[in-house]
Amino acid sequence: MLARRAGNLSLTYLIVTLFVIFTAFPFYWMLIATFKTSPDLYIPSNNPFIFNQPPTLDNLDLLFNRTNYPQFLVNSLFVGIMVVLITLLLSVPASYSLARLTGRWGERLGILIFMVYLIPPTLLFIPMSRVVSILDLRDSIWSLIVIYPTFTVPFCTWLLMGFMKSIPHDVEEQAMVDGYSRFGAILRVVFPLAMPGVLTVVVFAFTLTTHEFIYALAFITSSSQKVISTGVTSELIRGDVFFWQSIMAAGIIVAVPVALIYNLFLDRFIAGFTLGAVKG
């Protein structure tokens, strides 16, 4: 029995170790490539996993001082925050209303809203460009703030419906009996109970906006208005010349904070998706 337990424990640790190596290797590769010189990176005889030559800071100098990468970070952060706020303002009341709608109409409308999210952006960016032109938002990050909620709100509304359905009616009815209005009951009782779903929506909407490429490429051309997804590729890929080290630096600077946020809210994030799938 002891030998069996030891074998199972060793197998578990082995699987976990292999999984950690598999998931951490991209970050290690991006980090080490950031400080590699070009000869160290491109000579085939060099070991790609260590520094064969002294590391250098020239790649970071190229990224921060000879491109608009700091501006790309500011633009992406601003767009992400604005889209998250708009998504919450629309999806939270919409999901509550659909969850509390009696009969099958609430579920049917929720599925119909979710189907909007399934329409590929390649079919929508032409009519969306017309909307951007009418609003005179061409070549401005405000065009992304207007367009991105069209695909974050439908999915987030459908996701939050599962949380709203999991909250019993008796809870808010008791709050209303105690003197709260319906809005007060929603704000002080329902909203705190739905916080795992709200955090899931925040992480999902922010991540989706920072990784979006098609709309950002179609609506923005000037360098000062670009976001990370298009700015890095346009300024660090010049013809057939790829500045790989600076590209890796740009990637890891964005990836590490996102990875930390995911780990900090991992439990709530998983609860958000599982409860939304089961209860929705």
| Spatial CA neighbour of 258 closest among 223, 196, 215, 209 | 209
Please, what is the angle between helix 2-34 and helix 244-264, to 10°? 140
Q: Model pTM?
A: 0.82
CA angle 120, 125, 126 (to 5 degrees): 125
CA distance 262 to 184: 31
The predicted structure's pLDDT at residue 105: 67
The predicted structure's pLDDT at residue 48: 83
The predicted structure's pLDDT at residue 249: 92
| Spatial CA neighbour of 147 closest among 91, 199, 219, 90 | 219
CA distance 213 to 127: 17
Query: Both tokens of residue 159?
Result: 């996701």
Q: What is the sign of the dihedral through the CA atoms of 222, 225, 228 and 229? A: negative
Q: Scanning the structure block, which residue is given the tokens 């260590």?
A: 50
Residue pLDDT, tens place only, 194-221: 887 888 888 888 888 888 888 898 889 8
CA distance 68 to 43: 29
| Spatial CA neighbour of 30 closest among 264, 266, 256 | 256
Give the number of other CB atoms < 10 A from CB of residue 212: 21
Residue pLDDT, tens place only, 258-269: 777 777 766 666
Query: Both tokens of residue 124?
Result: 């929508």
pLDDT averaged per 10 residues, the chain (length 280): 80 90 89 91 86 91 91 93 93 84 66 74 81 88 92 85 79 80 81 82 86 88 89 85 90 82 68 50
Domain 61-279 has CATH 1.10.3720.10: yes
Domain ranges (residues) in the chain: 2-56, 61-279
Which backbone phi and psi does 24 adopt, to 5 degrees? -85, -20
Query: What DSSP string describes 148-159?
Result: THHHHHHHHHHH
DSSP-H helix ranges across 35-140: 38-42, 58-65, 69-100, 105-117, 121-134
The predicted structure's pLDDT at residue 95: 85
Give the number of other CB atoms < 10 A from CB of residue 97: 14
**Cα 118 from chain centroid?**
17
